[in-house]
């Protein structure tokens, strides 16, 4: 049994903002390269702020608690501030996660950022920025190196997300 803190257990037992938004302004889905679980975020944007944030997570208790916390942290924030939420901040806000569950927290902020980027791309404000699926770093599609963790990537031809060079399958969309 994992040693989850009280806050993690509380968000796992009563996750906030679960579900899908009808006609969302942006959607972001991220797959966990370690376990293959999936997290999707749906956003509604009004006056440059996240008016609504919902999620659907196919993953473990830690991933559900992380999604719930991300949705709470992001709601009402400007897009710029929401883009500054990192996976590390989410884990901290939850009072920490067991070491071997930290990979689960790597989905949260990334999925939210992807939803925001999707909104920006749809509304013609593309930022051409992606998040490293292995750490908190941001990488640009012009580069194939994460300057934060030093991993090198290729970009999936199907979903255009980065994945580790040499991997046989894109962890985001599953295309081989």
Can residue 73 be called a binding residue for ligand FES (CB under 6 A)?
no
Can residue 59 be called a binding residue for ligand FES (CB under 6 A)?
yes
Contact 4, 13 (CB under 8 A): no
Contact 56, 40 (CB under 8 A): yes
Can residue 64 be called a binding residue for ligand FES (CB under 6 A)?
no
Can residue 117 be called a binding residue for ligand FES (CB under 6 A)?
no
Spatial separation of the C-alpha atoms in residues 110 and 160, rounded to whole Å? 14
Spatial separation of the C-alpha atoms in residues 48 and 123, rounded to whole Å? 12
| Shortest Cβ 81–ligand FES spacing (Å) | 25
> Which residues are within 8 A (CB) of 100 and not within 5 positions of it... i.e. 6 or more apart?
2
Can residue 63 be called a binding residue for ligand FES (CB under 6 A)?
yes
Can residue 62 be called a binding residue for ligand FES (CB under 6 A)?
yes
Closer to ligand FES by CB, 98 or 150: give it. 98
Phi and psi of 70, rounded to 5°?
A: -60, -45
| Shortest Cβ 100–ligand FES spacing (Å) | 9
Task: Look up residue 65 and give its two tokens.
Answer: 């608690």
Closer to ligand FES by CB, 17 or 32: give it. 32
Can residue 68 be called a binding residue for ligand FES (CB under 6 A)?
no
What is the CB neighbour count within 10 angstroms for residue 158? 12
Spatial separation of the C-alpha atoms in residues 159 and 44, rounded to whole Å? 22
* Binding segment (CB under 6 A) for ligand FES, from list 55-63, 110-118, 128-136, 149-157: 55-63
Q: 145 by DSSP, 3-state: which?
A: strand
Query: Does the annotation mark 156 as catalytic?
Result: no
Task: Look up residue 64 and give its two tokens.
Answer: 């559900």
Query: Does the annotation mark 35 as catalytic?
Result: yes
Binders in 76-115 for ligand FES, by CB under 6 A: 104
| Shortest Cβ 11–ligand FES spacing (Å) | 14
Provide the annotated active-site residues.
35, 104
Q: Contact residues for ligand FES (CB under 6 A)?
A: 32, 35, 37, 59-60, 62-63, 104
């Amino acid at each position: 049994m994992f040693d989850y803190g009280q806050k993690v257990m509380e968000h796992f037992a009563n996750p906030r903002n679960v579900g899908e938004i009808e006609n969302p302004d942006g959607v972001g889905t991220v797959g966990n390269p370690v376990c293959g679980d999936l997290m999707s975020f749906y956003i509604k944007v009004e006056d440059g702020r996240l008016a609504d944030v919902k999620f659907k997570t196919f993953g473990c208790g830690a991933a559900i608690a992380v999604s719930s916390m991300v949705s709470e942290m992001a709601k009402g924030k400007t897009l710029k501030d929401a883009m500054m939420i990192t996976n590390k901040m989410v884990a901290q806000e939850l009072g920490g996660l067991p070491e071997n569950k930290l990979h689960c927290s790597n989905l949260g902020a990334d999925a939210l950022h992807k939803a925001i980027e999707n909104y920006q791309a749809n509304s013609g404000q593309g930022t051409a920025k992606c998040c490293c699926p292995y750490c908190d770093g941001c990488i640009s599609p012009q580069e194939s190196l994460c300057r934060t963790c030093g991993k090198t990537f290729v970009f999936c031809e199907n979903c255009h997300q980065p994945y580790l060079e040499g991997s046989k399958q894109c962890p985001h969309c599953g295309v081989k």
